[in-house]
Structure 1
Amino acid sequence: MDESWASTIAQVVSQEYPAAMHHVQHGPGHADPRELHPAFWGSYDWHSCVHMLCSAVKLHGRDSDLGLSALLDQRLTPYNIAAEADYLREHPLYERPYGWAWAMQLVKVCRDTRWEDALAPLEAQLEHNIAAWLRTQQWPVRHGVHSNSALALLLIFDASPRMRPLVERTALDWFGAERAYPHEWEVSGHDFVSNGLAEAALMRRVLPESEFDAWLQDFFAPEAYTFYTAPIQVNDPEDGQQAHLIGLMLTRAWLLREIGKPDGTQQLIDAAAAHLTGTNFMATHWLITYALLAEDALGN
């Protein structure tokens, strides 16, 4: 499995087009992905490239013979990463907050590797941007897509010890008193993450164990877990928005395991497994990341 995943990561990260870099231009001219983002081009969009490179580092750490070192050496150079940090300084809202959270995860997995020093300016800029965001953000965003606040805070908390006090205060302020989450209001047609499960996983990080157990009991009704472990029929996996629902099964499995509710999660992973590799770029450019997270969560 690691070999096929590594091959897919190398393929999608090296595929420049189609590209959705979400670059706002203030004048005429063509914005080439490689020129805008010398480290994080390919894999359809910036955030997917970031987290697929993060997945590449994880797989390389498990087996250095998977052939991913050349890709990582090519992308994670001091010059390339400095250019990405400069871009985030000049565009301080770009990829807020999902891309930032995954870039922090990339910094995390590169610690104690030969790429650690190159990533230092990116980490510093991310810390600045995240702190500025959380100083002004009044309420959480609960959409089941990239703007979801709980997912970003969870990934940032796990990646950055320096950011943890700020994340913890924000999480307690936004979610600490929440009760009786309406899980049945999920799903919308292009979710890839459960807001409720992301909240719960975040609160498991910031609350003492005994307090979290009480919080979780008040937050989810017992039937919520049956709802969340039901596999989803995806009618058109090549539709990029419907492909999100494949990812939703993987993120549900990951987050359920994170909150200590692993029963039934393997059927979600099995339902998504066929889409992780192959020719459907709308699925392959990002799904392996969440399959890896679901694997990792079994050991938590």
Structure 2
Amino acid sequence: MRLLLTVLISLCLITTKAQQQTFYTISADSTQIKLTPEGAAHLASLPLKCIYQEYPNKTGHTASGDSDQVLTPKQLHPTFYGCFDWHSCVHGYWMLARLLKQFPTLPQKADIEKVFNENITPEKIAAEVAYFKAPLSRSWERTYGWAWLLRLDQELLQWDHANAQQWRATLQPLTQKIVELWKAYLPKLTYPNRTGVHPNTAFGLVFALDYARAVADKDFEQSIVKTARNLFGKDEQAPIRWEPDGSDFLSPSLEEVDLMRRVLPAVEFMSWFNKYIPANGLQNIMKIPVVSDRTDLQIVHLDGLCFSRSWCLKGLVAALPKTDKRRPQLLKAANRLLSSALPHVASGHYGGEHWLASFAVYALVD
């Protein structure tokens, strides 16, 4: 029995190593990790599998009466109804655009184009906009879903695909509705949400700020920068040693760092950062979290935490001075977190498969 167990463990290790070699490559010094065309095709298969999958589904819908209580997910959201919930479906679209942009010869190219052509239509987007106009829906998907919708719009804007600008033009009524909601919300944002899940304020502001700068919306950009400074500019001694919570897929402390490196000038950022992140906390945040049950829809969030920590740490490295001695350690930790979670993206369990690939791609390409 012991011999059989040893053989099985060895086979699992060999399979995982082969997958790593096929799907992504790691430099000899562990400072660079790159997605391969085979890996891109593998990851693209996951949202393609779930974008048209209506159930199981977590709509988060608040009914105002019998008329909308009995609507199906597809009736509520004719474009973004798959992948278990609205925001996961949105970032599934973003991921497909990003992968095809980076790997134009993906074997799923025709399937990806079909998804956009069939679902990004004026009629369907009009229904998505109408949902946000309902009195009880103005705060729906705030701010996580709002953030990913702007990331999708930005990806289409910066893509030279023949149909990308048409898809983006069709998406604009929804994009502009989300921007309108953002602009109305920011002046009222008195206190930040520092959670490690969807409502995290810093995460939402990061994507919103990137979008505002990409489209040169100066008023939106200035409002975001002002909000970020007001909410986070005086923060010191982050309680980073308490992370993670049991269902985190974002690091509250690192998301704040990821935002402020965009907001503050370099010298001011370093002063802020050195006061905000204590040395022992930085060591804690580089550890790989334990994921005890990938069939559990909350515990599997911790795989996503590996990816989000990775992209935040890589962004931090880019913001630190070239002479900062922390850079090599942080970069190796970022890639260690990334490579530890990648083999589990396609776990066979829908709780992770409906969203984790998007986090993996964002960590790999951005």
TM bin (shorter chain): over 0.9
Q: 1:145 aligns with which of 182, 192, 197?
A: 197
Q: Residue 120 of structure 2 aligns with which residue?
A: 76
Show CA shifts across 1:136-155 (max 9, x none).
12100111110110110011
Q: Residue 287 of structure 1 aligns with which residue?
A: 356
Matches within 5 A, 1:110-121: 110-111=156-157, 113=164, 114-121=166-173
Question: How far has the Cα of 1:65 moved from its partner?
Answer: 3.7
Is the 1:57–1:72 Cα contact (8 Å) retained in structure 2? no
Is the 1:254–1:290 Cα contact (8 Å) retained in structure 2? no
Once residues 231 and 278 of structure 1 are traced to their aligned partners in structure 2, the CA distance between those partners, rounded to angstroms, is 18
Question: How far has the Cα of 1:164 moved from its partner?
Answer: 1.3
Question: How far has the Cα of 1:246 moved from its partner?
Answer: 0.7
Q: For structure 1, which runs of at least 5 residues remain unmatched after alignment?
A: none
Q: Residue 157 of structure 1 aligns with which residue?
A: 209
Q: Residue 143 of structure 2 aligns with which residue?
A: 97
Show CA shifts across 1:123-165 (max 9, x none).
2101111111112121001111101101100111112232211
Once residues 363 and 173 of structure 2 are traced to their aligned partners in structure 1, the CA distance between those partners, rounded to angstroms, is 30
Identity of aligned residues (%): 32
Question: How far has the Cα of 1:6 moved from its partner?
Answer: 0.9
Q: Residue 94 of structure 2 aligns with which residue?
A: 54
Once residues 282 and 306 of structure 2 are traced to their aligned partners in structure 1, the CA distance between those partners, rounded to angstroms, is 13
Question: How far has the Cα of 1:213 moved from its partner?
Answer: 1.2
Once residues 185 and 14 of structure 1 are traced to their aligned partners in structure 2, the CA distance between those partners, rounded to angstroms, is 39
Letter in 2 for 1:80: K
Once residues 65 and 74 of structure 1 are traced to their aligned partners in structure 2, the CA distance between those partners, rounded to angstroms, is 21
Q: 1:64 aligns with which of 104, 110, 130?
A: 104
Q: Residue 14 of structure 2 aligns with which residue?
A: none
Q: Alignment length, in residue pairs? A: 297
**1:14 corresponds to 2:52:** yes
Q: Which ranges of 4 or more aligned residues in structure 1 deviate by more than 6 Å? A: none
Letter in 2 for 1:64: P
Letter in 1 for 2:278: A
Show CA shifts across 1:46-96 (max 9, x none).
010001111111112123343211112222122222221221122211111
Matches within 5 A, 1:97-246: 97-111=143-157, 113=164, 114-161=166-213, 162=217, 163-246=220-303
Q: 1:5 aligns with which of 30, 35, 43?
A: 43
After superposition, the Cα gap between the structure-2 partners of 1:77 and 1:63, relative to the gap in structure 1 and judged at 3 Å, is: farther
Is the 1:238–1:282 Cα contact (8 Å) retained in structure 2? yes
Show CA shifts across 1:166-215 (max 9, x none).
11000000001111111012211111101100001100001001111111
Question: How far has the Cα of 1:44 moved from its partner?
Answer: 0.3
**TM-score normalised to structure 2 length:** 0.79
**1:276 corresponds to 2:345:** yes
Letter in 1 for 2:155: V
Question: How far has the Cα of 1:262 moved from its partner?
Answer: 2.0
Residue range with higher mean Cα deviation, 110-119 or 170-179: 110-119
Q: For structure 2, which runs of at least 5 residues remain unmatched after alignment?
A: 1-38, 318-329
Once residues 71 and 105 of structure 2 are traced to their aligned partners in structure 1, the CA distance between those partners, rounded to angstroms, is 35
Once residues 176 and 297 of structure 2 are traced to their aligned partners in structure 1, the CA distance between those partners, rounded to angstroms, is 33
Once residues 187 and 23 of structure 1 are traced to their aligned partners in structure 2, the CA distance between those partners, rounded to angstroms, is 29
Q: 2:71 aligns with which of 31, 40, 52?
A: 31
Once residues 57 and 291 of structure 1 are traced to their aligned partners in structure 2, the CA distance between those partners, rounded to angstroms, is 14
**TM-score normalised to structure 1 length:** 0.95
Question: How far has the Cα of 1:278 moved from its partner?
Answer: 4.1
> Whose radius of gyration is greater, 1 or 2?
2
